[in-house]
Structure 1
Amino acid sequence: MTYSTAGGATHYGYGLHDSNFLGLGKTIKIEHTSTEARTGDIIQYRDYNLCDKNQLILGYADNNDGKESEFSFSKPFSSIRTDWTSGVEYQDFLREDTYYNAGEEVYRYLHQNAEHSLYYGLRLPNSSDDNVHRLIVGWSHASDEFSSLPEFNSDLDVELPYDRKFDSFWIEYSSFKNSYIEMHNIQQINRTEDFNLGNQWRLRIGGVTANTNQLDKSIQVQLNFSKAIKISSTQMLLGELSSSGFYTSGDTINAINQMAVSYHWQNFSRGQFYAYANVTEGKNLFDDMPLELGGDTGLRGYPVRFQAGNKLELLTIEQRYFGEKEWFSLFHMGAAIFYDQGRAWGESPVDQTYNKTLRDVGIGLRISGTRTGGKDDGIHNVAHLDLSYPLDGSADIDKYQISVRIKKSF
């Protein structure tokens, strides 16, 4: 069973999930889920060691507003010494998407999507165990079609996102320096964690052909960079930079530039001072992909999707406590006092009531199981139980928000 609630939106699910089906190392999931957006039934099969380290993923969902399917067969770079990779991927969905204002639904429309890709890559000859260089070439196709829903007519003057269909033939280069260290009580409770002090970056450049003048003959660019810095035996800095978009001779479309930094300081024996900052800016974003901020994306004292735009800022400050005791031989506990401050503003498909900086404070418990890990990737999930109080906004916002969520870190 799964359950989470944040910003007034509740998600629950029940069914079967076995990450070692019949002792064969295969993952099976059969689940009924319900969110604020949709309810549905999901069946999924994952095999991470098919025929000598190949991976197979199959999935299908039957929802009340449409269907989803996915297929992936790949041979990944499973280690720094793996010589080559290849894969084929396909996914599609039919669903209802929504424009929001102040956490309230203002317009709903139908969204049909299909994406598929092929790729092949090599570990370059100049690689070593300390420095790994990889080159991948591939082709990707994406199609998005939008239509109105008569039963969701709105008095607002709202335009649908424009249909788009494009192919991208791309080449990707990635590099990372293998310089891992072990730390304790950084993002997990009472667990040894690995962090890479070396530079990690990825650059993909593709030529685009499309059915719209906005995207046709553009250059698609994706850039990612990440690095961990050990300031001292008790201080760690984690940083990420990313940039993506379609570039033409005269314009930039769906461009997103993001910088995120987190600071971790063990300021007493079982405590940590934590600060996180995220600055994101978009330009000419697709209407179905605005930057959103709310109770499920960092502003814990407010409803989900409370603000939207093409610019976003978020600051989180926490004093954390990592408990030492293992309760009932089942889990470790932690706690936090936190402050959130953020804002999403700028261009949005619908006018936004709130576009000023919002703040909240709160307290929370953290629970990390010692007998179970993450469902798919082997990490250990952490349950978050938070009580948050908004410091801004109008009287119609609830005086407090209770959230229960499962995350991958403290």
Structure 2
Amino acid sequence: MLQKKSTLMFIFGTTLMLSGPSLAETGCVAVDPKQPLPESSSARTISKISYIRHDIFDLSHPQTVWFHRFANEYHVITTEPTIRDDVLFREGEPLDLAVLAETERLLRSRRYLRQAEVQVTEYCEDNQSVVVTVSTWDNWSLLPKISLGHEGGETKSNIGFAEDNLLGTGNQLQAEYFNDSERDGYQLRFLSPNIGGSHWQTAVQYADNSDGESYQFQLNKPFYRISSDWAFNFELSKEIKDISEYELGDEYNEYRSNRDYAEVSGGWKISQYDNQVQHLNVGVTLDDHHFLPNDDSTRPPPTDRDLSQIWVGWDWFQSDYQKMFNFFQFNKVEDINFGWQASVRLGKLNQGLGAYTTGWNLQATLAKNWQLTPVSWLTYRSEYKQLEGKELASQQLFSNQLRHIYHLSDNQVWISQFQWNVGKNLFRDQRITIGGDDGMRAFPLYYQTGNKSAIASTEYRYITSWHLYQLVDVALAAFVDAGRAWDNPDRTTPIDNDTLYGYGVGIRLLPSHASRGSIISIDLSKPVTDNPELSGWRWRLIAKREF
């Protein structure tokens, strides 16, 4: 027994000596990030922050070829100051594991980073301090945008480029020419997500389209962490475009929309307890929307409206994050909040600001995720809007989404979703549509339109072990959709006026080392319909953030 104990002490002492002077001579020992720290860790201070920045590809991978080396060679890796700007703690401050986890989530939210880890790696007993290591893995950020897609019976294409990590600074620059079912034109956009480490953000965008031009400028400082004391937002935009109205996916009317929008608002933390925080927000919004006929108009455009208002809002946020896999995406860490999130905003229409009438505008949101069993989860999102005006018809919209996620195994997921919208007297340009992007994947875009809708979907997903040259992860899917949009006073055709049904199979491709991280969905689907123009199987290709 004594000999065994002496042997263990010899091994431990040898390990300290081999670790080098930086540990043994300073009285510091390496710790396993996966194991809990000793008790009273809150009394320890952060003596040093180390940064380890990884390039895009692991060149020791057996599938490494020339373009992996080329990408690593010519990619500008995210600079250490850019990473440091997002770190929410400093050397000399007390260790707070919750702040380390919050920093890790903030870094992972940056699209130019594929993964981030913030861990305690050394413990120094002599001075009760720790060393924290921030490790990041870059994404390929210069993306040529050359794409051709077919979705909902419409062809979409664009060409251009997007740089999501300009010279390693985290800034975004985008230029593209696009052509879709509504319009074609070009767009320029610049975004800085954290100006000089101040957590101020700015975005500038300009677009010159076939149906008009638009621009946007935004300067804001959000509640970027749970302890943020205040927030600010300023936004100015103008958008001119043609809006089409559809029936069964076919355009029957078009009109010109001209919208001028501006908002300035501020927010303050009014209470914080443990992992919960409440904010008070106030703001002024100018929202002037005009409609005009164009050469393709077959009926009068909607009535002009101005909803300029002064508003006050409240929100409640409960932080209860967990690292999840194969939740909304696949083969990557997802930070999912299982705490409550709620907000209420009440605005008063003000004729002194330009509103056409007096009245009030209410908006409320509620969101929550639950873990039902070790392998199943439930997510819920709801939103309520109500607009009342002296010269406006009373308008309401209640939107809900309920989703059940069940992991049949580590690589098999079954998801069921039900979303419903109940509206009343919605503006013509804000009615609910289904088909294509908006549910009912086997049907064309804008197939049904109305004040109300309901869609039920179920989907089986098989995540394969195929990782094609460290570039693309592959998953397979099979799905069934059923849904309907109704209560449309302008509908004229009796075809497919009831519940729609569709089913299909698909392939999901995830560019695992690209900054956009959009999942490319290729589906082959068949609608169940009495419309003779939709007989047979249909295919679609679309890129989106979620599976």
Range into which the TM-score falls when normalised by the shorter chain = over 0.9
Cα distance per residue 1:39-69 (max 9 Å; x no partner): 0010111011124111111110001111011
1:248 deviates by 4.8
Cα distance per residue 1:296-321 (max 9 Å; x no partner): 21111111100001010101111111
Are residues 1:270 and 2:414 paired? no
Matches of 2:499 and 2:291, distance apart in 1: 32
Match of 2:344 in 1: 203
Matches of 2:169 and 2:515, distance apart in 1: 18
Q: Which amino acid aligns with 2:482?
A: Q
Which of 1 and 2 has greater Rg? 2
Q: For structure 2, which runs of at least 5 residues remain unmatched after alignment?
A: 1-144
CA RMSD, Structure 1 to Structure 2 (Å) = 2.0
1:63-212 to structure 2, matched below 5 A, reads: 63-124=209-270, 126-149=271-294, 151-154=295-298, 158-210=299-351
303-312 or 364-373, larger mean C-alpha shift: 364-373
Instruction: Tell me the SS of whatever aligns to 1:46.
Output: strand
Q: Contact 2:306–2:355 at 8 Å: present in 1 too?
A: no
6-15 or 63-72, larger mean C-alpha shift: 6-15
Are residues 1:360 and 2:502 paired? yes
Are residues 1:223 and 2:378 paired? no
Are residues 1:382 and 2:519 paired? yes
1:25 deviates by 1.8
Q: Which amino acid aligns with 2:181?
A: E
Q: Which amino acid aligns with 1:359?
A: Y
Matches of 1:81 and 1:10, distance apart in 2: 46
Match of 2:528 in 1: 391
Match of 1:9 in 2: 154
1:110 deviates by 0.9
Match of 2:420 in 1: 279
Matches of 2:297 and 2:315, distance apart in 1: 47
Match of 1:53 in 2: 199
Matches of 2:503 and 2:266, distance apart in 1: 48
Q: Contact 2:309–2:355 at 8 Å: present in 1 too?
A: no
Match of 2:373 in 1: 232
Q: Contact 1:206–1:219 at 8 Å: present in 2 too?
A: yes
Instruction: Tell me the SS of whatever aligns to 1:389.
Output: strand
Matches of 1:61 and 1:384, distance apart in 2: 27
Matches of 1:130 and 1:231, distance apart in 2: 22
Cα pair distance change 1:214/1:28, threshold 3 Å:
closer
Cα pair distance change 1:232/1:206, threshold 3 Å:
same
1:250 deviates by 10
1:5 deviates by 2.1
From 462, 469, 487, the equivalent of 1:321 is 462
Instruction: Tell me the SS of whatever aligns to 1:98.
Output: strand
Q: Which amino acid aligns with 2:282?
A: V
Are residues 1:38 and 2:169 paired? no
Instruction: Tell me the SS of whatever aligns to 1:22.
Output: helix
Match of 1:377 in 2: none
1:208 deviates by 0.8
Q: Contact 2:191–2:204 at 8 Å: present in 1 too?
A: yes
1:269 deviates by 3.7
Matches of 1:71 and 1:253, distance apart in 2: 32
Matches of 1:192 and 1:216, distance apart in 2: 49
Q: Contact 1:214–1:253 at 8 Å: present in 2 too?
A: no
Match of 2:386 in 1: 245
1:392 deviates by 1.6
1:259 deviates by 1.1
Cα pair distance change 1:197/1:106, threshold 3 Å:
same
Q: Which has the higher strand share?
A: 1
Matches of 1:279 and 1:318, distance apart in 2: 18
Cα distance per residue 1:8-40 (max 9 Å; x no partner): 112211112101112222110111011111000
Matches of 1:10 and 1:24, distance apart in 2: 35
From 511, 515, 530, the equivalent of 1:369 is 511
Q: Which amino acid aligns with 1:68?
A: S
1:153 deviates by 4.5
Cα distance per residue 1:63-99 (max 9 Å; x no partner): 1111011010111111111111112101111111111
TM-score of the two chains, using structure 2 as the length reference: 0.70
Matches of 1:88 and 1:132, distance apart in 2: 23
Relative CO higher for 1 or 2, CA cutoff 8 Å, sep ≥ 6?
A: 1
Aligned residues: 400
Q: Contact 1:253–1:285 at 8 Å: present in 2 too?
A: no
1:159 deviates by 3.5
Cα distance per residue 1:203-225 (max 9 Å; x no partner): 101111259x9972211111000
Cα pair distance change 1:141/1:209, threshold 3 Å:
same
Matches of 2:369 and 2:213, distance apart in 1: 40
